[in-house]
Structures are given as C-alpha cells and as structure tokens.
Chains A and B, each alone.
Chain A
Amino acid sequence: MRAGGADGEAPLGSGFVLLWVRELATRMRDQRDYLTQLDAAIGDADHGINMDRGLAAAMEKVGGMEAESPGAILEAVGTALIFSVGGAAGPLYGTGFRGLGKALGERRRFDPEDLLMALRAGLEAIQNLGAASQGDKTIVDAFAPAIAAFERGLRAGEDLATSTARAREAAEDGMRATVPMQARKGRASYLGPRSVGHQDPGATSTALLFSALERAAGRGATERP
C-alpha cells in the first residue's frame, strides 16, 4: 500500500485513512488503562474504556469501506464515536472526525495540504461544540499546536512523514503542558485547583491521534511492508 509517496499528485486515499483509524484503534486498546487512570484523577475514570470501545465500533463500521471516499470513511468514524462513546469524548471526537470527513468531501485522493485543511476543520468542529480555547486543559491543547507544527513542516517543504512526526511531537508537548493547568472546561473544572498537577486525558488521547497519523504517513512513505 502506497499511502504517502512524494511523487504522485495526490498521494493519499482511503487506504491511508483506514490505516490511520486502525493505528488509532490499536493505540486506544494499548493505552486504555493508562487513559482511564489519568481520567480517574480528574474525571469519571472512563476515558480509556470509552475511546477503546468507540474506536472498536468505528473499525467495525469502516472495515469494509475501502471503496468509499476518504471523507465518507472519516464521517462514518465520527458517527460511530458519537453513538458508541459516552461522556464528552464521544461527541467531541465524533464531531471532530465528521468535520474532517466533511472537509475532504467527495474527493477520492487528497494531498498533505488537504489533510491540513481537514485537520483544521476537525478542530474547528470540536471547538464549536466544546467552546474550549488553548489553556483550558482539553483536547485543544494538543490538537492546536499539532496542526500548527504540521503546517510549519509543510511550509518548510518537508514531506508528509516528517511533517506528521512534527505534529505528533507538538501534540505530545501540548499534552504534557496540560499538567500544571487548571481545568476551565468540563467536569474537571469543578475541581478547581485540584485539577492542577494532572495530565489531561483528552489531550493525551489527541496525542495518540497524531501518533497514529504519523505512523500511517510513515508506513506508506518510508517503511517496508
């Protein structure tokens, strides 16, 4: 599967998107207990369980969609998350994936610039629903810097694999930066100063989203099958 070759006009397609979702599902399964443990400190201790269940449901739904457009696949992932994940994570990630999918529209192939545009649309959808800004100790604190780093990479002429690696690094930095923050959104905000000193579970799962993206991009471009 060639997902991110540097030669073609629009190197990305359904295979790339499906790989991204599969890599994400694997990470949610592997990190389920860790995410839940983070959530136990400032939430309902269900983030890992919810995300794992949601991605498993999404994988089941998009498993046979290779022939569909990348946008349709991402929208289906979003819908699956909304309907199978409780708490705030389902609606937020679900809306984000639907935003990504809608932004890609009907096109069968897309390039890294389209991916950047779609990621922006995904974040915008998340922010429209959650009304969170950077610094509120949420998903946004990992998502926004990741997009900015991805864009810097593309502008510097770097290939998809390198740019997504930069995005993942920035997402992880953003994730770690949530530790000293006081939550201003969601149930964690009810804890006031007690939310300080804990890494945000949502920012952590967003870092996994970009780690999965890096992996999907790297596989096609640089790794042997």
Chain B
Amino acid sequence: MIQSVRRAALILKELGSSPRMGVTELGARLGLAKGTVYGLLRTLEDEQLVERDGETGKYRLGPAMLQLGNAFLDNHELRARSLLWAESLASRVAEAVRVGILNGRKVLIVHHVFRPDNSVQILEVGASIPWHACALGKAIAAHLEEDRRLELLDTDLARLTGRTITDHQVLERELRQVARKGVAVEDQEAIVGEAEVAAAVFNHLGAPVGAIGVAGPVERLLERGLAPDVVAAVRETARSLSREMGAGRVSAHAR
C-alpha cells in the first residue's frame, strides 16, 4: 500500500463527511502532522479534488469530485441499464423508484426516480442506508451466497427507527422468506412513515448485483397489506432488468 495515497483518500473521505475543515482539524482527525496534511491538500487542490475557501481558509471537496462521481454513475452498468426500467416502473405504480447496490454493509442508492406527482422530493442518489433497514438491502442479502449472507448478518444491526429489525434470528428468518417470495418489504424500518417493496437484480452468474424497489408513504404502499399489483410490477421489472444484465434462468433464483 502507498501511504500517501491512502492518506489523500482519507482526507477526501473526511471532507466528504463534514462541510469544511481546516488543516489543523483534519490533522487531528487523521492523526497526521499539520505539514503532512498541508502538503497533501495542496496536491489535491492542484488536481481540483479539493478547494480552499478564500474567506475561512478551510478546505472542502472540489469540482473534480463531481466529475468523478458522475463518471462512477455513468459507468455503472446496473444503473445505466436500469434508467428506462425505473422510469416505467415509477409511472406504472405512481410512486418513487430506487436502485441500489450493496457497498460494504450499506446500500448505496445509484438511481432514484421521483414519484411522478410534481411534489418536492430529495434526490437520494448517493445516500447510504444500512442494508438491514431497507428493502433493497434485504432483497440483495437474501440471494447472496451463504457465507456472505452470514457475514452481513453477523454485524451490529443499528436501530434507525422503532421498527428496524435488530434481532439477528428474526432478520435471518425474514431473509429466507424474501428468497422464497422474490420480494423484500420494508415497513418504516429506515424512516418513520416510509415503506419500500424491492426485488434483487441478477447477473449472468445468477448472483445479485443490486436491487430495484418502489418507495413511498407507508399509508399508500402498505395500508391494506401488500398491494399485489405493486409486487407484480417490482418482480417483473427486476426480472427484465436481470435479463438485460445477462441473467439466464433468472426464475430459478428470483422465485
């Protein structure tokens, strides 16, 4: 490992998790000498990966980060292939649609289509949600190879709301059910008042590469139980998307 590259990466991540920071604060957080941090920042600034606020002298992420972030999304195969499917799913069920991938123990939202009702909504692309608290994460985890799934289950299951499943055995049981049904349901487990119904998307090896789901207010998605038309729409979309990702006999996994 190259130490300075690692340190530069840590600086970028620190700046990505708080609005702006000075050299001293960054040094303290990373346990590095001020001079070292300053040298790294200067180099990153030269590459426009960070920029310095003229007034406060503090550093924040730079414009090149936006280009890199966009490039990541543009080059992401699942995202690229999901654009049209997500759009048509959103208009079919008149709710928001999200596409996510598993990144460590969290689900990273790589695509988000707003609920088509002209209301103000926050773009959730880039949001990271603990896998066990969202339907996308449960849909993916349910189809992972056993050791990988157990690895995920064997972590601290943080409580995001009073409804988050934090009991390992309960969650394991639910994952088995998700694998059987082909859809995962989230009932206010990440955000109070919000629900999601999601299904995993598979690649040519039959491995889950991500998930696509319909997200919306719990009173609309789950009020009278799980709406069969939403389940059908999510399943069908996930199956079509899987086929595009090269999955052959998807039904063997998704059903």
Contact = CB atoms under 8 A, between A and B. Distances in A.
Nearest to A45: B120
Listed residue (B188, B192, B219) with the most chain A CB atoms within 10 angstroms of its CB: B192
B192 A91 contact: yes
Interface stretch (A22-30, A128-136, A214-222): A128-136
Contact of A44 (B19, B121, B192, B219): B121
Contact of B124 (A45, A89, A190): A190
Contact of A130 (B19, B129, B162): B162
A190 B18 CA distance: 13
Contacts of A192: 16-17
B160 interface: yes
A169 interface: no
A131 B164 contact: yes
A196 B193 contact: no
A129 B194 CA distance: 13
Interface residues of B, number: 25
A86 B120 CA distance: 14
B162 A129 contact: yes
Given A44-B120, A131-B162, A193 B18 contact: yes
Interface string A37-54: 000101111100000000
Interface of B: 16-19, 119-122, 124, 127, 129, 159-164, 188, 191-194, 217-219
24 contacts: A40-B120, A43-B122, A44-B119, A44-B122, A45-B120, A46-B119, A46-B120, A86-B217, A87-B217, A88-B192, A89-B193, A91-B193, A129-B161, A131-B159, A131-B161, A182-B18, A187-B122, A187-B124, A187-B191, A187-B194, A191-B122, A192-B16, A192-B17, A196-B18
Given A129-B161, A196-B18, 9 more contacts: A43-B122, A44-B121, A45-B120, A88-B192, A91-B192, A92-B192, A131-B160, A187-B194, A193-B18
